[in-house]
Amino acid sequence: MAITSATTDRSGGPRLGQKRPLARKAIGRMGPWQLVRVLGEGAMTRVYLARPAEHEDAQPTYAVKSLKREWWSEPAAIAAQRREAWIGGRVSHPNLAPVLASAVTAPPFYLVTPRLGGQTAEAMLGTGVKPALPVALWIARQAAQALEALLTGAGVIHSDVKPGNLMVGPDGHTTLLDLGFCQTAHEARSWVDRPVVGTLRYLAPERVTSATTIDTRSDLYSLGATLYELIAGRPPFAGETPAALIAQHREARPACLHEAVPGTPKRVASLVHRLLAKDPLRRPSAPAEVIDELMRLEIECFGVR
């Protein structure tokens, strides 16, 4: 039924019988944000499509990432949310989603970013669709650019590079997601502290041993595993248990990409396998080095499917 008003005035109020706009349907509110629907969720967080509550007729163009209630009393989960809010507000880069607002001092814990269009690389691969080789290289280069921005802008490594954390827009623009596990090279955070099993498929071997320092080359290993999957359609290792995956990362050699995907240029395969070197010292030393090489390879592979 239409809502009507029986009064009128000269200030622009509704006239007799004029329909007053109805508030657009929402599922709740968090602080000053009106939640429209759930966009997705992970082990610890849930992401909502949202709009400012004071503009209830506006199109929802924001994403509110909230910590699930069952994690409100967990210091590590709260710290991750606070860290993501801090880094997202400090580092500005086209391949990182900016944090526009946050509430991380008391429940409910949440942060706000622009809504990103597209789908994750994981979702894309899940449909059986692989990007063309130049696009795969471009996606990886954009991820490397985000890693470089985190390193130079905040002195942190991402620590969870994987297809599920790469949002690929309809135009191919890629955004690196989930900054909650970022850490400095001096912070030792074991993989067992993470409730994300999928991460193990992209885990650098030094992350499960105390014998080697963890630094930006650990992110580059994960980037190499991600690029391998973008090209081959499957990750370099696929053990059925956490123990099997860890053993493969530490000891096994992945199938040669040049042979696993016929037609893959040797220079592309060489870069991927250098990124996947067991010894961090045998990998590229920094994201900037990988960015330069990927850019050259994109040009060389232009037109390759």
**Could you list the active site residues?**
160
The answer to whether the beta carbons of residues 280 and 206 sit under 8 Å apart is yes
- For 2-5, which contacts have Cβ atoms below 8 Å and span 24 or more sequence positions? none
Q: What is the rounded distance in angstroms from the CA atom of residue 28 to the CA atom of residue 25?
A: 9
- For 295-299, which contacts have Cβ atoms below 8 Å and span 24 or more sequence positions? 295/141, 297/137, 297/265, 297/267, 297/268, 297/271, 298/134, 298/137, 298/138, 298/141
Q: What is the rounded distance in angstroms from the CA atom of residue 92 to the CA atom of residue 99?
A: 9
Give start and end residues of each alpha helix (H) in the chain: 75-90, 121-126, 133-154, 216-232, 242-251, 257-260, 266-275, 287-300
Tell me, rounded to whole angstroms, the distance of Cα 57 from its chain centroid.
30
Contact residues for 35 (Cβ-Cβ < 8 A; gap 6+): 26, 27, 28, 29, 48, 49, 50, 64
Q: Which residue has the tokens 């809504």?
A: 115
Tell me, rounded to whole angstroms, the distance of Cα 85 from its chain centroid.
14
SS3 176: strand
Among 255, 237, 256, 260, which Cα is nearest to 247's? 237
Mutual orientation of helices 287-300 and 133-154 as an angle, nearest 10°? 160
Token pair, residue 133, equals 């080789």
Say how many C-beta atoms besides its own lie within 10 A of residue 197's C-beta.
11
